Amino acid sequence: MRIALSGNPNSGKTTMYNALTGSSEKVGNWAGVTVDKNERPVKRAFYTGDERLIAVDLPGAYSMSPFTGEESITRDYVRGESPDVIVNIVDSTNLGRSLFFTTQLLELGIPTVVALNKSDLNRKQRTSLDPNRLSELLGCPVLSTVSTSQEGFLELVSVAMSLKGKEQRAPFVAKEIDPSDPDAVRAEDRRRFAFVNSIVREVEQKSHRASEFSLSDRIDLLLTGRGVGILFFSLVMFLVFQISQVWVGGPIADLLVGFLEQGQEAVRGVLSTAHPLLVALLVDGVIGGVIAVLGFLPLVMVMYFLIALLEDCGYLSRVAVVLDPIFKKVGLSGKSVIPFVISVGCAVPGIMASRTIKDERERRAAAMLAPFMPCGAKIPVIALFAGAFFDGAGWVSTVTYLSGILLIFLGALLVNRVTGNYKKRSYFIIEMPAYKFPSIWGATKSMFSRGKSYVVKAATVILLCNTVVQIMQSFTLAFAVAETADASILAAVAKPFSYLFYPLVGVLSWQLAAATLTGFIAKENVVGTLAVCFVGLENLIDTEELVLLEGSGAEAAGIFAITKVAALAYLMFNLYSPPCFAALGAMNAEVKSAKWFWGGVGLQLGVGYTVSYLVYTIGTLIISPETLNVPAALLGLAAVFAMAAVVLTVIRRGDLAREMQAK
Amino acid sequence: MENAIILVTVALILGAIIGYLIRSHRRGKRCIGCPYAKECTACSTDGCVEAPKTEEKEK
Amino acid sequence: MTLNEAAVGKEYVIESVHTEDAEMDAFLFSLGCYSGEPITVIAHRAGGPIVAIKDSRYSIDRSLAGAIVI
C-alpha cells in the first residue's frame, strides 16, 4: 500500500519522511518489492498488519497553479502511480498559506489525511487550532503531529491505512477554467483563498498577532543590518573553522592519528619478513594512505556538527538577506548564498541547490561558481598544508574560504561580462523562519551520518585510489620493480603534467602533479597520494610532533622540496581548480548545456591556475626574490596571458553577437 | 608465506570494496561518500539520483 | 504608495501586485500576497523591508517592495 507525502516545502515533510522510512540497508526483508527512487518502505515500528506500507515522497509545492511550474508534478504522479492515500503535511503555524495547497490536493479524489505539523510551535506561541472542526470543514481526518519528535506518527499512519479505498470529496471544487487565461486562473485562486480564509477564521485562535514585533524580529534587525550583519557572519564562519580545526577537531585528530599509526607500525612489525614491496603496498599504500585521510575525520565531523547547528537555528536565511545586496552587485542575488553555503559541506548538493534560482543565467553562474567554496573533501588538503608548512595556523584556512568568496565575486563579474548581462530586474524574497534553538541531538545525528559518509568514502574510493597509486609508484613501465620512485609508472604518467605546474611551484615535481590529478576523483586523494609519494608524511599531520621538530615548516619544505609560498600556491590550485568528477557531473546536470559546462570548467581551470601563479610569483618576489625561478615564472606569465586572451575573445565575440541581434 | 598473506589480504580488501561499489551502483545509490546524500534535493533515498557514477579505478 | 513607503507595524491592505514576472506574481499569490489581503512591514532595512504575510516573515528587496502597491 502506498502513501504519498505531500505538502509545502519547509513544513516538516522531509523530516517526517526520513523518520518514517529511516535508512534500510536490509532490503532483504522486502525481497520482490521494487523500491523506486523516491519511495521507501515505512519502518515496521510504525504499524501492524500484514500489508507492506510504502511511503512516497512527493516534491514540496506551494500550489498546483499553472504558472508556478510545479503544477504537473503532483498531479501527474497521482494519475500515473495512484497512491492509495495522501498524507498532507501542513505547517500549522501558517495555516492560511498551507491550506491553499490542501484544498487542491483534496480535489484529486484520493483519500487524504491532514497532519497539522509543528504543533509544538503552536503550543509555544499559544495558538490553538481545532482539528475536529477543521476535519468537518475539509471533509477529511485531521491530526496534530510534531515531525521532530515523531509525536502523532503512530496515529497518523494508522488513520492513513484505514482510509484505503475510501472516497474523498473535495470541500472546494474549482470551476472549469481555461488554464492559459491568467485572469481566469487568478480569479479562481482568489475564490479558493477566500474559502481557505473562512476556514482559518473558524478554526484558528491566535493569542498574538503574527505582525507583532517580537524578540526574534529585534535580533533579525540587528543581524541583518549591513555592517553588523557581515561582521557577525564573518565572526560565525571564523568560529566554525577555529573550533573545528584548532580548538576541538585538531587535538582530537592528533590523538586519532597517533593511535592509528601505532596500529600501522604494529602491522609493519608483524610483516617484517615479507617482501618489502608488498609490505610497502599494504602498510604504506593501503593503510598509510587511508590514515592520512581518516586523520582528518575529527576536523570534518566537528565542522559538520557546527554547520548542522547553523542550519537548524534558521540563521542561514538571514545570511542570504545580509549578503543579497553584495551579491546583487555582481549579478547574483541572496538566493545564490544557499548553494554556496551548502557547498562548504559538499559541492554536489550545493550545485543542485542552485535549482531554486529562477533566473537561468544566475542559476548557471551559481552552479559554476559554487565549487570555489572549499568543500569538506578539501579540508584535509587545507589542514595538511596548514599543518605542514604553517604550523597549523588558523589564518590559512580562513584565507582559503575568504579567497573562495572573493573568487566567486570575480567569477560572477566575469560571467556577467561574457554574457553581457545588463541590470535586469531581479527580485529577491526569502522566507525567514522563526529562530529556534538548534537541536543538539539533531546536529549530533547529522554529524555522525555525514561523518560516516566520509569514512565510507575513505575506506572505499580513496583506499582504491591509494592502492593503485602505490602500485604505480612501485613498478616501472616495463613492470619491473622500480629502483626509485622517479622511474615508476606514476612518475612517467605525471611528469608531463609537472611541466604545467612548474610555474606554480617553481620546481618540477611529478609527485605534486600526480596528487592533483588524483584529486579529480576525490579531493581527499591529494592528501592520500602525497602520503604515498612522501612516505612519512603522516608525521606531518601530527602538529604536536611538529612542534618538537625544529623549523617544521622547513622540514616539510625539505620533504616536498618546495617553499612555503609555493606550498600555498599549490594548495590554492587544488582548491580553486575544477572540482571532483562527482561535482563536475552535478554541474553538468544543472547548466544543461555543453557550452556552459566547458565554459565553467575553463573558468575554474583558468582561475585556479592564475591565482596559484600570482600567489607563487608575487609571494616569492616579496619574500625571497632571489629564489624565483625565472624561466618558470615567464612560462606561467605566458600561460596566464594566453588564458586572458581567450577570455577577451569570448567576450568580444559575445558583444558582437549581441550587437548583431540588436540590429 | 608472509607474502602470500599480504597478497591475499590486499586482494580481499580491494575485492570487497569493488564489490560494495558495484552493488551500490546496482541499487541505484550514487554519491558514495557524499555527506548530504540523504538530504539532497534530487533524492529521497540515501543516494543522489542525478549525480554521475564516481569513477573508481582511474587516473 | 508602495511597501517601501509603508509605516512600520501598521497593517495595510494590498491594492495591487505587479512584478514584471508572471511566475513571481503567482508565487507571491501562493504566499497570500495579493490584492485585498493584509500585509504588515515589520522593519525597514537598507536593502528592503521585512514583511509579515499570513503568519510568515519574508525579507524582500526594494525592487520587489516597489512592485507591491498598498
Q: How many domains does chain C have?
A: 1
Strands in chain C per DSSP E: 11-13, 16-17, 38-44, 49-53, 56-60, 68-69
- Flag whether pLDDT at A116 surpasses 60: yes
Q: Which three cell numbers stand for residue B51?
A: 549525480
Mean pLDDT of A376-386: 88
Q: Does C45 reach chain A within 8 Å, measured CB to CB?
A: yes
With contacts defined as CB-CB under 8 Å, which chain A residues touch B41? 349, 352-353, 355
A48 falls within a domain:
yes
Q: Which one, of C1, C21, C6, C12, lies nearest residue C69 by Cα?
A: C1
A219 falls within a domain:
no
CA separation for the pair A66, A52 (Å, rounded): 35
CA separation for the pair A590, A596 (Å, rounded): 10
**What pLDDT is recorded for position A185?**
75
CATH number at residue C54: 2.30.30.90
Question: Do A344 and A444 lie in a common domain?
Answer: yes
Buried b (16+ CB within 10 A) or exposed e, A573-590: bbbbbbbbbbbbbbbbbb
CA separation for the pair B24, B30 (Å, rounded): 7
CA separation for the pair A244, A380 (Å, rounded): 12
C21–A427 CB contact, under 8 Å: yes
CA separation for the pair A188, A199 (Å, rounded): 17
CA separation for the pair B36, A370 (Å, rounded): 15
Among A residues 416-435, those touching chain C with beta carbons less than 8 Å apart: 425-434
Mean pLDDT of A109-131: 84
Distance set, CA A520 to CA A8, A359, A446, A609 (Å):
38, 30, 26, 15
Q: Are A3 and A55 in contact (CB under 8 A)?
A: yes
User: In the block, which residue shows the cell 545586496?
Assistant: A325
Mutation choice for A interface testing from B26, B55, B56, B57 by most A CBs within 10 A: B55
**What pLDDT is recorded for position A63?**
66
Structural domain span for residue C58:
3-69
From A205, A239, A264, the end of a domain falls on A205
Nearest to A37 among B9, B44, B58 (CB): B44
Question: Do A165 and A56 lie in a common domain?
Answer: yes
Mean pLDDT of A555-581: 83
- Nearest chain C Cα distance for residue A120, angstroms: 16
Chain B positions touching chain A (beta carbons under 8 Å): 2-3, 5-7, 9-10, 13-14, 17-18, 20-21, 27-28, 31-46, 48-52, 54-59
Q: A310 in helix, strand or coil?
A: helix
**What pLDDT is recorded for position A536?**
57
**What pLDDT is recorded for position B34?**
64
Mean pLDDT of A259-277: 85
Mean pLDDT of A136-147: 88
CA separation for the pair B18, A538 (Å, rounded): 26
Question: Do A360 and A507 lie in a common domain?
Answer: yes
User: In the block, which residue shows the cell 622540514?
Assistant: A555
Q: Does C7 reach chain A within 8 Å, measured CB to CB?
A: no
Nearest to C55 among A93, A189, A213 (CB): A93
**What pLDDT is recorded for position B53?**
32
Nearest to A468 among B46, B50, B57 (CB): B57
Strand partners, C52: C40, C57
pLDDT band for position A425 (50/70/90)? Answer: low
CA separation for the pair A142, A138 (Å, rounded): 9
Measured distance between the N- and C-terminal CA atoms of chain A, rounded to whole angstroms: 61
pLDDT band for position A518 (50/70/90)? Answer: very high
- Flag whether pLDDT at A579 surpasses 90: yes
Predicted-complex ipTM score: 0.91
With contacts defined as CB-CB under 8 Å, which chain A residues touch C67? 427
With contacts defined as CB-CB under 8 Å, which chain C residues touch A206? 55
A581 falls within a domain:
yes
A221–C47 CB contact, under 8 Å: no
pLDDT band for position A270 (50/70/90)? Answer: confident
C31–A65 CB contact, under 8 Å: no
Give Cβ neighbours of residue A298 (< 8 Å, ≥ 6 apart).
A248, A249, A250, A252, A253, A256
CA separation for the pair A341, A374 (Å, rounded): 10
Give residue-wise pLDDT tens across range A157-195.
888 888 888 887 777 777 776 667 777 777 888 888 888
Q: Does A630 reach chain C within 8 Å, measured CB to CB?
A: no
Residue A86: its H or E element: strand A85-91
A65–C26 CB contact, under 8 Å: yes
Query: Cβ–Cβ contacts within 10 Å for residue B18, how many?
Result: 14
B2–A352 CB contact, under 8 Å: no
Q: A264 in helix, strand or coil?
A: helix
pLDDT band for position A410 (50/70/90)? Answer: very high
Q: Which one, of B32, C24, B52, lies nearest residue A352 by Cα?
A: B52
Q: C7 in helix, strand or coil?
A: coil
pLDDT band for position A69 (50/70/90)? Answer: very low
Give Cβ neighbours of residue A416 (< 8 Å, ≥ 6 apart).
A330, A331, A365
Q: Which one, of A62, A92, A88, lies nearest residue A163 by Cα?
A: A88
Nearest to B41 among A355, A461, A582 (CB): A355
Chain C residue with CA closest to A211: the answer is C52
A224 falls within a domain:
no
With contacts defined as CB-CB under 8 Å, which chain C residues touch A95? 55
Give Cβ neighbours of residue A535 (< 8 Å, ≥ 6 apart).
A280, A284, A288
Tell me the pairing of strands A429-431 and C49-53.
unpaired
pLDDT band for position A287 (50/70/90)? Answer: confident
Among A residues 449-488, those touching chain B with beta carbons less than 8 Å apart: 449-451, 453-454, 456-461, 463-464, 467-468, 472
Strand partners, A481: A475
Q: Which one, of A436, A416, A418, A414, lies nearest residue A426 by Cα?
A: A416
Tell me the pairing of strands A2-7 and C56-60.
unpaired
Give residue-wise pLDDT tens across range A77-103.
777 777 888 899 998 888 888 888 888
Q: Does C28 reach chain A within 8 Å, measured CB to CB?
A: yes
A225 falls within a domain:
no
Q: Are A536 and A549 in contact (CB under 8 A)?
A: no
Query: Which of A329-333, A406-410, A585-589 has the highest average model confidence (pLDDT)?
Result: A406-410
Mean pLDDT of A579-586: 88
Chain A residue with CA closest to B38: the answer is A18
Chain A residue with CA closest to B18: the answer is A460
Residue A56: its H or E element: strand A54-57
Chain C residue with CA closest to A322: the answer is C47
Average predicted confidence (pLDDT) for chain A? 82
A345–B56 CB contact, under 8 Å: no
Q: Does A33 reach chain C within 8 Å, measured CB to CB?
A: no
Q: A110 in helix, strand or coil?
A: coil
Q: How many domains does chain A have?
A: 2
Residue type at A281 in one-letter notation:
L
Give residue-wise pLDDT tens across range A449-501.
888 888 888 888 888 888 888 888 888 888 888 777 788 888 899 999 999 99
Q: Are A420 and A654 in contact (CB under 8 A)?
A: yes
**What pLDDT is recorded for position A62?**
65
pLDDT band for position A204 (50/70/90)? Answer: confident
- Nearest chain A Cα distance for residue B1, angstroms: 8
Q: A652 in helix, strand or coil?
A: helix
Q: Are A126 and A93 in contact (CB under 8 A)?
A: no
Q: Which one, of A589, A570, A529, lies nearest residue A347 by Cα?
A: A589
A483 falls within a domain:
yes
Mean pLDDT of A548-573: 69
A35–B35 CB contact, under 8 Å: no
With contacts defined as CB-CB under 8 Å, which chain A residues touch B3? 274-275, 278
Nearest to A226 among C20, C22, C46 (CB): C46
A274–B2 CB contact, under 8 Å: yes
Query: Chains A/C: 3 or more C-beta pairs closer than 8 A?
Result: yes
Among A residues 306-335, those touching chain B with beta carbons less than 8 Å apart: none
CA separation for the pair A502, A295 (Å, rounded): 30
Helix axes A131-138, A95-106, angle to 10 degrees: 40
Q: Are A300 and A326 in contact (CB under 8 A)?
A: no
- Flag whether pLDDT at A233 surpasses 60: yes
Contacts across the A-C interface (CB distance below 8 Å): 123
- Nearest chain C Cα distance for residue A61, angstroms: 10
Give Cβ neighbours of residue A183 (< 8 Å, ≥ 6 apart).
none
Helix segments in B1-59, DSSP class H = 2-26
Helix segments in chain C, DSSP class H = 22-31, 62-65
* pLDDT > 90: percent of chain A: 15
HEC letters along A169-198: CCCCCCCCCCCCCHHHHHHHHHHHHHHHHH
- Nearest chain A Cα distance for residue B8, angstroms: 11
pLDDT band for position A36 (50/70/90)? Answer: low
Q: Are A261 and A272 in contact (CB under 8 A)?
A: no
Mean pLDDT of A273-296: 82
Strand partners, C2: C69
The DSSP symbol for A624 reads -
**What pLDDT is recorded for position A578?**
94
Q: Which three cell numbers stand for residue A452?
A: 560516516
Give residue-wise pLDDT tens across range A585-636.
889 888 888 999 999 999 999 999 999 999 999 998 888 888 788 888 898 9
What are the per-10-residue average pLDDT scores of chain B (59 residues)? Answer: 81 88 73 58 39 32
Measured distance between the N- and C-terminal CA atoms of chain B, rounded to whole angstroms: 32
Q: A358 in helix, strand or coil?
A: coil
A432–C28 CB contact, under 8 Å: no
- Nearest chain A Cα distance for residue C40, angstroms: 6
Q: Are A609 and A574 in contact (CB under 8 A)?
A: no
Contacts across the A-B interface (CB distance below 8 Å): 133
- Flag whether pLDDT at A572 surpasses 90: yes
With contacts defined as CB-CB under 8 Å, which chain C residues touch A427? 19, 21, 24, 60-61, 63-64, 67
Structural domain span for residue A154:
2-205
**What pLDDT is recorded for position B37?**
57
Exposed/middle/buried for residue A631 (C-beta within 10 Å: 0-12, 13-18, 19+): exposed
With contacts defined as CB-CB under 8 Å, which chain A residues touch C27? 62, 68, 429
- Flag whether pLDDT at A67 surpasses 50: no
Residue A115: its H or E element: strand A112-117
Q: Does A211 reach chain C within 8 Å, measured CB to CB?
A: yes
Mean pLDDT of A552-576: 77
pTM of the model: 0.78
Give Cβ neighbours of residue A205 (< 8 Å, ≥ 6 apart).
A127, A128, A129
Residue A207: its H or E element: none
CATH number at residue A182: 3.40.50.300
Question: Do A181 and A34 lie in a common domain?
Answer: yes
